[in-house]
Amino acid sequence: MYKLHHDYNCTDILLPDSLHSDAISVVEVGHSSPPAGYSSLKNKRDVYVLHYVYQGKGSFLGMPLEAPCGFLMTPEELQYYSVSSEPDAPQWEQYWIMFKGNNVKEFLANAGFSLSPHIFKVNNIKREWGVFDDLFRTENYLEINDSLYMLSVLFNIFSLHAVNEPISGESVPSYSSYVRGALAYIKDFYILNLCENDIAKAVHISTKYLHKLFKEEVGMPPMKYLNSYRISCARKLLLNSRLPISQVAAHVGFNDANYFCRVFQRFNNGVSPLQYRKSLPKSGEKENKNV
């Protein structure tokens, strides 16, 4: 195992001397404290990356995040994140573990991760932090079994997530596995320009069958549920942020602000986003009066 250091973004990286197997192998483990305003490169890589953010604010794939949390990067999508430039934001600090292999999806699913890029909550990040910290404290950088040691770290992280981090806190036991997977996919990717076919492909069933299952189990078609979820996220942004209506729309997956307003009214008894914001408690009105 080899240790590298990069001064420009305060990064330490551990690399194995060899990959363990085709099934799953750890490619890299890293720790960094990048400066405010830092943005990673946007690229596609043939690896998965789990990031655990101990403190800080920023975004992943344009989605806002705040520590303690984690996010999963996948080979199928662009991989990038950015650190908040707000002067009062805590210093960003994170560990990550990069891995690949033929059986990665199986391991991720068994650990309770959604198989698409997403941000997830970490209820007690000190446990995960301790696993990474122990690895970085080791002095045996050239031991022959270091690739196995790094792999044990990944499995330890998987086991902690499996015990404490279900895919969706709103999953209902009566839902089929296809619907649970579709709900998780929607909550991970609601900001993207999704269609019903995209959701069906994500859970490996036909669009027609997905539509039927959603109406039977959720009580509405997938696209209506998607818009309902987007609007619930928009309400939170209207309450807790100073973002203009057009940016609120973009943050919840609507490219057209006028269309967003029409959908918002549909789910809020004719009340527009601006009317909704003005109807908030006085403290909320005060915070957002210059928007």
Burial class of residue 254, CB neighbours in 10 A (0-12, 13-18, 19+) = buried
For the chain, what is the domain count?
A: 2
Domain boundary residue, one of 116, 148, 164: 164
* Residue 185 and residue 239 in one domain: yes
> Residue 91 and residue 89: Cα distance in Å, rounded?
7
* Residue 121 and residue 37 in one domain: yes
Q: Is the predicted pLDDT of residue 4 greater than 80, yes or no?
A: no
* Residue 181 and residue 156 in one domain: no
> Residue 48 and residue 31: Cα distance in Å, rounded?
16
* Residue 51 and residue 97 in one domain: yes
Give the CATH number of the domain where residue 97 resides. Answer: 2.60.120.280
Domain boundary residue, one of 115, 136, 164: 164
Residue 72 is predicted with a pLDDT of 94
* Residue 147 and residue 184 in one domain: no
Structural domain including 249 reads: 172-291
Q: Is the predicted pLDDT of residue 55 greater than 90, yes or no?
A: yes
Give the CATH number of the domain where residue 218 resides. Answer: 1.10.10.60
For 161-202, the pLDDT digits (tens) are: 876 544 444 444 467 878 888 988 898 889 899 999 999 998
* Residue 199 and residue 160 in one domain: no
Residue 144 is predicted with a pLDDT of 54
Q: Is the predicted pLDDT of residue 284 greater than 50, yes or no?
A: no
* Residue 136 and residue 258 in one domain: no
Residue 143 is predicted with a pLDDT of 55
CA distances from 266 to 9, 224, 262, 274 (A): 46, 11, 6, 14
DSSP code of residue 171: -
Residue 173 is predicted with a pLDDT of 42
Domain boundary residue, one of 112, 140, 164: 164
For 221-276, the pLDDT digits (tens) are: 999 999 999 998 898 888 878 889 999 999 999 999 999 999 999 988 888 999 88
Beta strands in the chain (DSSP E): 2-6, 11-15, 25-32, 48-55, 57-60, 63-66, 69-73, 81-83, 93-100, 118-121
- Residue located via tokens 């934001």: 89
* Residue 148 and residue 226 in one domain: no
Residue 84 is predicted with a pLDDT of 93
User: What confidence category does residue 139 fall into, taking pLDDT thresholds of 50, 70 and 90?
Assistant: low
Q: What percentage of the chain carries pLDDT values higher than 70?
A: 83
Residue 212 is predicted with a pLDDT of 93
* Residue 211 and residue 183 in one domain: yes
* Residue 151 and residue 191 in one domain: no
Q: Is the predicted pLDDT of residue 288 greater than 60, yes or no?
A: no
* Residue 21 and residue 145 in one domain: yes
More confident call, 115 vs 251: 251
* Residue 135 and residue 10 in one domain: yes
